Amino acid sequence: MDKVVASAAEAVADITDGSTLAVGGFGLCGIPSVLIEALLEAGTTDLEAVSNNCGVDDWGLGRLLMEKRLRRMVSSYVGENKEFARQYLSGELEVELTPQGTLAERMRAGGSGIPAFFTATGGGTQVAEGGIPWRYDADGNVVKSSPPKETRDFGGREYVLEEAIVADFGLVRAWKGDRHGNLVFNDSARNFNPLAAMCGRLTIAEVEELVEPGELDPNAIHTPGVFVQRVVALTPEQAADKRIERVTVRKKEA
């Protein structure tokens, strides 16, 4: 039952080239930065990442992107990463843009054993009709587009069939976790982390504070240990290393 491993490097050692990763976080909030760095150091490549966004140019998944370790992204927002835009538009990266709520539900469904579901989001748009560019070539021509999706009428409204996401690995960051893999997330850092933990066939959690089984209030646990296979306890320095995506301040008044 003790799922703690000695290091992030050990935790990601069996993530192979070509794997699909479900990665928690929103912007730079709650991202598993230590596990991402371990993957970078391991040299793992040709990865597909399912995450709300791709970090920024010098942090988070952006670190893997800068080294061209990502072949494909499934995301809902990518506007803070210039290198992402460059790789996408030059044909170096395949991108499946997905409405944010739909992405969250696709991940939750994958973790719940639900193969697909109908949603009103995207009805009457290219999300349903297909044709959203997934990959360009070096000359800017679209070489791969999203396929049309099945639609159905329920109560006079069009609904779109969306398939669940199940990833090879889930990478998440928690505020607290115990040796059994039970996790608690702090405020907005919760975001996509529980969903990434659910839809990974093998989920690795980096935790800022490791506690013993029984110390967490069962009513406060956000992700039960059944969804987590490995736990990495961060050092105080690693836990404190959190970046701000965009600093906005006002001028000091006289």
Domains of the chain plus CATH, in order, are: 4-115+164-240 (3.40.1080.10), 116-131+141-163 (no CATH)
Reported as a pLDDT band with limits 50, 70 and 90, residue 81 is confident
Residues forming a β-bridge with 127? none
Percent share of the chain, pLDDT over 70: 100
State yes or no: pLDDT of 7 exceeds 90.
Answer: yes
Reported as a pLDDT band with limits 50, 70 and 90, residue 57 is confident
Q: Rounded CA gap, 36 and 150, in Å?
A: 36
Closest CA to 64 of 41, 86, 94: 41
State yes or no: pLDDT of 252 exceeds 90.
Answer: no
Q: Rounded CA gap, 73 and 231, in Å?
A: 25
Q: Rounded CA gap, 105 and 75, in Å?
A: 13
Q: Rounded CA gap, 141 and 133, in Å?
A: 9
Percent share of the chain, pLDDT over 90: 91
Q: Give residue 50's pLDDT.
A: 98
Q: Who's near 164: CB < 8 A, 6+ residues apart?
A: 106, 107, 109, 110, 114, 115, 116, 117, 199
State yes or no: pLDDT of 248 exceeds 90.
Answer: no
Residues forming a β-bridge with 5? 232
The whole-model pTM stands at 0.93
Question: Is-contact 169 110, C-beta < 8 A?
Answer: no
State yes or no: pLDDT of 45 exceeds 90.
Answer: yes
State yes or no: pLDDT of 247 exceeds 90.
Answer: no
pLDDT in tens, 160-174: 999 999 999 999 999
Closest CA to 227 of 142, 169, 175: 169
State yes or no: pLDDT of 99 exceeds 90.
Answer: yes
Q: Give the residue carrying structure tokens 């009103």.
A: 120
